[in-house]
């Protein structure tokens, strides 16, 4: 089927449902960052492969809304005779819809693919112009998507307490006590990561994100109803591991159980920004009292226990060995004949090979960003979407990658000199590195949010009139998503306090469009600092163990304290990584970690 005929089929169904418009978001019913292949409805209707976007289809017109990352890509992938292109942020699609529709028009949407908060806001906004927002029970795309992929049915598995550090029962009891205190009968959980964390389970339903896609109800008595494909649990006896108050239910039973809760008049808590509107509508129409609150798993999940932190240290040692071997190999490869035979794709593959030599490595934690020269100026560049660029033309190479290990998740960016580099690039690299170090050296009292620390990483750039247009740091899961909240270090960031055990990235950068890109990223964990003042303060322990490239450092842009930090860090890298390297790799590490 062409995209034109897919659009025709959809419009035919819209006519049958008396709909003047239909909204197709990128999301699936869990509203997480990553979605499985069977949920790629936006791709099916439009051809667009980006990770965020919305299509809006009307009888005579259709439009695609994507953000700044994808304005070029959408033009390459989608037919402009079928779709207008708009900016997701600056041209909100509901505004565009209202400009196209008159009073009493009907806008269809699949309530499983939108959050309850979106639904409430959209309903109010459209109602102002008497436009009706109409939930559609069966997604109109699915009616026509005949070769739709089947959901994965990889086996779920238990994450041993040697890795999780805490039995599911302890986690459930703690959350249930809060539900009791707030007189909540049940907590609806709809995102994969909190559910997998709560039950100490993992799966392979999505590349890079080791989860079982599922829904769950946590009751006041600490029992859990898990709604998932039972086929995934043929090898895992959930009750035997988690206790008999954890029961497995086929996904199809979710609606019925929500209605049962509703009929009991239960007070059910859910997070309106992550729970889909279908769940909320099902509950409230059956009579439940909805209580809106942040997902209560998020904060305890973010605060890693000592076993998880130790696991992360072990994962980072392994990951550092692989990264150092890759950089040592690359250093040699640059001096061997025909380096131009290597390109961004072969480099990324080589790096994955080095990681995969460790038996504990499971998969990358996200698609490697392997970017040479001007490609590095695109923060979300992916060489798989284009012709990979070859070595030999550019000064700098930026590689942002990570691994999933049973004991932790890694995420590291290094920028390397792979050719001639001028003084401006070195200056900017050093300003970025200086900001990274200033943040890494921060200490702060209880209650400090990432928003308060973000400027530390930017100030060296700000002093010279530069900046970067992304956050400085995100939370990182424990053998879970490489992006997690609620903490965040960002100018738009949260005031959630940074607390012991939280793992965050520290990744300032600088991007010159059409020129080059720079990013320096380590992961660091919040720990108590040893000080003798009036109050306890926290500091960051750096987990990542890979040298920063000496060739790019212009020491005149550093103060003595930054050089001290770098020398101390490189000494630590040497001490921990060198016992695992030999020969040319060891020689490379020795020079890469020498004091400045």
Per 3-state DSSP, the chain is made up of helix, strand and coil in percentages (nearest 5) of: 40, 20, 40
Binding segment toward a copy of itself, per CB under 8 A, in 214-222, 327-335, 358-366, 554-562: 554-562
Binding segment toward a copy of itself, per CB under 8 A, in 78-86, 179-187, 258-266, 529-537: 529-537
Instruction: Tell me how far, at minimum, the Cβ of 448 lies from a copy of itself, in Å.
Output: 7
Instruction: Tell me how far, at minimum, the Cβ of 589 lies from a copy of itself, in Å.
Output: 31
Q: Which of 337, 359, 514, 533 binds a copy of itself (CB under 8 A)?
A: 533
Is 532 a binder of a copy of itself (CB under 8 A)?
yes
- CA proximity to 10, closest of 102, 142, 114, 112: 142
CB-wise, 68 or 230, nearer to a copy of itself? 68
Site for a copy of itself in 66-105 (CB under 8 A): none
Site for a copy of itself in 443-502 (CB under 8 A): 443-445, 447-448, 451-456, 459, 461-467, 491
The whole-angstrom separation of Cα 497 and Cα 8 is: 51
Contact 469, 511 (CB under 8 A): yes
Which ranges of 293-369 would DSSP assign to H, the alpha helix?
298-302, 306-335, 344-356
Which ranges of 264-295 would DSSP assign to H, the alpha helix?
277-286
Site for a copy of itself in 244-283 (CB under 8 A): none
* Alpha-carbon dihedral 161, 164, 169, 175, rounded to 10 degrees: 170
Instruction: Tell me how far, at minimum, the Cβ of 205 lies from a copy of itself, in Å.
Output: 38
Q: What are phi and psi of 408, to 5 degrees?
A: 170, 170
Helix, strand, or coil (residue 501): coil
Which ranges of 17-115 would DSSP assign to H, the alpha helix?
41-46, 71-77, 93-100
Is 535 a binder of a copy of itself (CB under 8 A)?
yes
Q: Which of 531, 571, 587, 596 binds a copy of itself (CB under 8 A)?
A: 531
* Cis check: omega of the bond before 486, within 30 degrees of 0: yes
CB-wise, 157 or 538, nearer to a copy of itself? 538
Is 568 a binder of a copy of itself (CB under 8 A)?
no
CB-wise, 12 or 561, nearer to a copy of itself? 561
Which ranges of 441-582 would DSSP assign to H, the alpha helix?
450-463, 560-577
Tell me the CA distances in angstroms from 134 to 14, 39, 104, 171, one per residue in order. 11, 21, 11, 39
Q: Which of 131, 442, 546, 558 binds a copy of itself (CB under 8 A)?
A: 442
Strand residue runs (E) in 26-104 = 54-58, 62-66, 84-87
Binding segment toward a copy of itself, per CB under 8 A, in 40-48, 231-239, 254-262, 439-447: 439-447
Is 514 a binder of a copy of itself (CB under 8 A)?
no
CB-wise, 214 or 472, nearer to a copy of itself? 472
What is the end-to-end Cα distance of the chain in Å, rounded? 61
Binding segment toward a copy of itself, per CB under 8 A, in 212-220, 354-362, 525-533, 575-583: 525-533
CB-wise, 514 or 533, nearer to a copy of itself? 533
Contact 89, 117 (CB under 8 A): no
The whole-angstrom separation of Cα 24 and Cα 140 is: 9
- How many of the chain's residues bind a copy of itself (CB under 8 A)? 32
Binding segment toward a copy of itself, per CB under 8 A, in 56-64, 93-101, 374-382, 533-541: 533-541
Is 554 a binder of a copy of itself (CB under 8 A)?
no
Binding segment toward a copy of itself, per CB under 8 A, in 36-44, 201-209, 548-556, 559-567: 559-567
CB-wise, 220 or 426, nearer to a copy of itself? 426
CB-wise, 215 or 468, nearer to a copy of itself? 468
CB-wise, 85 or 466, nearer to a copy of itself? 466
CB-wise, 317 or 554, nearer to a copy of itself? 554
Instruction: Tell me how far, at minimum, the Cβ of 115 lies from a copy of itself, in Å.
Output: 24
Question: Residue 226's beta-bridge partner residues?
Answer: 216, 248
Is 536 a binder of a copy of itself (CB under 8 A)?
yes
DSSP for 471-497, written as a single string: -SEEE--SSS-SSEEEEEESTT---PB
Instruction: Tell me how far, at minimum, the Cβ of 496 lies from a copy of itself, in Å.
Output: 14
Is 317 a binder of a copy of itself (CB under 8 A)?
no
Helices 277-286 and 254-263, packing angle to 10 deg: 40
Binding segment toward a copy of itself, per CB under 8 A, in 237-245, 295-303, 437-445, 544-552: 437-445
The whole-angstrom separation of Cα 239 and Cα 227 is: 14
Contact 64, 81 (CB under 8 A): no
Query: Given the rule CB under 8 A, which residues bind a copy of itself?
Result: 442-445, 447-448, 451-456, 459, 461-467, 491, 529, 531-537, 559-561
């Amino acid at each position: 089927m062409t995209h034109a005929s897919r659009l025709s089929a959809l419009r035919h169904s819209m006519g049958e449902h008396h709909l003047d418009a239909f909204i197709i978001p990128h999301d699936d019913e869990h509203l997480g960052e990553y979605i499985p292949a069977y949920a790629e409805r936006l791709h099916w209707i439009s051809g667009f492969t980006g990770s965020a976007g919305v299509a809006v289809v009307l009888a005579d017109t259709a439009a695609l809304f994507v953000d700044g990352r994808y304005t070029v890509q959408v033009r390459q992938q989608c037919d402009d005779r079928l779709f207008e292109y708009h900016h997701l942020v600056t041209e909100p699609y509901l505004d565009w819809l209202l400009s196209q529709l008159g009073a009493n028009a009907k806008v269809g949407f699949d309530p499983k693919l939108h959050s309850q908060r979106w639904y409430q806001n959209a309903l109010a906004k459209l109602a102002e112009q008497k436009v009706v927002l109409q939930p559609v029970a069966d997604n109109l795309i699915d009616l026509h998507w005949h070769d739709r992929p089947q959901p994965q049915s990889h086996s779920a598995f238990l994450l041993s307490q040697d890795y999780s550090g805490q039995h599911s029962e302890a986690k459930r009891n703690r959350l249930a006590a809060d539900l009791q205190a707030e007189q909540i009968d049940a907590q609806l959980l709809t995102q994969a990561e909190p559910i997998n964390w709560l039950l100490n389970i993992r799966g392979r339903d999505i590349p890079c994100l080791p989860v079982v896609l599922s829904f769950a109800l946590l009751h006041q008595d600490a029992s859990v109803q898990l709604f998932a494909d039972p086929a995934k649990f043929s090898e895992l006896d959930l009750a035997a591991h988690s206790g008999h108050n954890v029961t497995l239910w086929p996904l199809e039973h979710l609606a019925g159980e929500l209605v049962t809760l509703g009929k009991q008049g239960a007070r059910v808590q859910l997070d309106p920004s992550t729970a889909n509107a279908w769940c909320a509508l099902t509950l409230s129409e059956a009579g439940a009292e909805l209580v809106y609150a942040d997902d209560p798993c998020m904060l305890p999940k973010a605060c890693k226990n000592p076993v998880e932190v130790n696991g992360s240290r072990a994962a980072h040692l392994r990951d550092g060995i692989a990264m150092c071997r890759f950089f040592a190999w690359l250093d040699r490869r640059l001096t061997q004949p025909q380096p131009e035979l290597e390109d961004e794709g072969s480099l990324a593959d080589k790096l994955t090979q080095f990681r995969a030599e460790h038996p504990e490595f499971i998969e990358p934690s996200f698609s490697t960003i392997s970017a040479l020269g001007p490609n590095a100026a695109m923060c979300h560049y992916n060489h798989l979407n284009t012709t990979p660029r070859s070595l030999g033309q550019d000064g700098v190479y930026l590689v942002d990658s990570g691994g999933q290990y049973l004991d932790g998740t890694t995420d590291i960016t290094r920028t390397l000199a792979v050719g001639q580099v001028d003084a401006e690039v070195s200056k900017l690299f050093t300003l970025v590195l200086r900001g990274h170090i200033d943040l890494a050296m921060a200490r702060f009292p209880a209650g400090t949010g990432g928003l308060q620390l973000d400027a530390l990483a930017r100030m060296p750039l700000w002093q010279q009139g530069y900046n970067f247009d992304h956050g400085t740091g995100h939370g990182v899961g424990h053998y879970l998503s490489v992006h997690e909240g609620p903490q965040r270090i960002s100018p738009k960031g949260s005031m959630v306090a940074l607390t012991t055990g939280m793992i965050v990235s520290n990744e300032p950068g600088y991007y010159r469009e059409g020129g080059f890109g720079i990013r320096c990223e380590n992961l660091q964990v919040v720990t108590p600092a040893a000080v003798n003042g009036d109050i306890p303060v926290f500091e960051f322990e750096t987990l990542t163990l890979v040298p920063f490239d000496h060739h790019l450092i212009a020491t005149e842009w550093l103060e003595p304290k930054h050089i001290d930090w770098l020398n101390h860090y490189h000494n630590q890298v040497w001490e921990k990584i060198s016992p695992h390297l030999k020969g040319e790799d060891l020689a490379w590490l020795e020079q890469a970690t020498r004091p400045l």
